[in-house]
Amino acid sequence: TQLLEQSPQFLSIQEGENLTVYCNSSSVFSSLQWYRQEPGEGPVLLVTVVTGGEVKKLKRLTFQFGDARKDSSLHITAAQPGDTGLYLCGIQGAQKLVFGQGTRLTINP
Amino acid sequence: GAVVSQHPSRVICKSGTSVKIECRSLDFQATTMFWYRQFPKQSLMLMATSNEGSKATYEQGVEKDKFLINHASLTLSTLTVTSAHPEDSSFYICSAEGAVLTDTQYFGPGTRLTVL
């Protein structure tokens, strides 16, 4: 059983469209992180959300932590080909980082 | 700041040989380093956690005699894949946790291993 369930696992959309990806769990977390990984590279931390209901913006990316701190979403506005990559949510478990399965996003020009 | 490097970035070897991958924290001291494995189109799977000066802690199902980890200094950890086989071909990624910012892991760029 996956601690973190990400959906969708694959998403392919046209440039300019909006999208939302989700990270869900039945457990409560003190914080949650979102990463983006491009092909052949390591993951890069985008944001850490800590407070229930928290919303953080990073240019066209909006991250939200659920009120109950069990889930999170990432919304991208006006997607661009440069947004293509694997988006991973992760939580800090017992001295280790646990990742969801990831959402592989492709933005077509 | 907080840069982690890996060497080599790509390696191709013959079946039965051993391959060493280095992970370095370039501008900070890392008391803990992590080694992940990633198969195509999948997420990262933690293989082991290494603490400087002590034995690594391996995740369930990871053979410690096959994947040797050494963390001899606060800036260097190595992963040696011993007697590599084609099924060991994968993308190996390390991360380092700072001595100060212990809630943040900084990832290396990964090493693509291909075993022929």
Query: What is the per-residue pLDDT across B49-72, written as a single tens digit (0 to 9) for each?
Result: 998 888 899 999 999 999 999 988
DSSP, collapsed to helix, strand or coil, labels residue B34 as strand
Higher pLDDT, B85 or B97: B85
Tell me whether strands B111-115 and B10-13 are parallel, antiparallel or unpaired.
Answer: parallel
CB-based contact B110 A92, cutoff 8 Å? no
- Residue B66, class by beta-carbon neighbours within 10 Å (0-12 exposed, 13-18 middle, 19+ buried)? middle
Q: How many CB atoms lie within 10 A of CB B100?
A: 9
At residue B105 the predicted structure's pLDDT band, cuts being 50, 70 and 90, is: confident
| Residue to substitute from B44, B49, B102, interface A, most A β-carbons within 10 A | B44
Q: How many CB atoms lie within 10 A of CB A55?
A: 12
Q: How far apart are CA B116 and CA B98, in angstroms?
A: 36
CB-based contact A99 B43, cutoff 8 Å? yes
| Of the partner residues A31, A40, A102, the one whose CB lies closest to the CB of residue B43 | A102
Q: What is the DSSP letter of A4?
A: S
| B108 and A CB contact within 8 Å | yes
| Of the partner residues A42, A48, A86, the one whose CB lies closest to the CB of residue B108 | A42
Q: Which residues of chain A have pLDDT under 50?
A: none
Does residue B99 register a pLDDT over 90? Answer: no
Does residue B100 register a pLDDT over 70? Answer: no
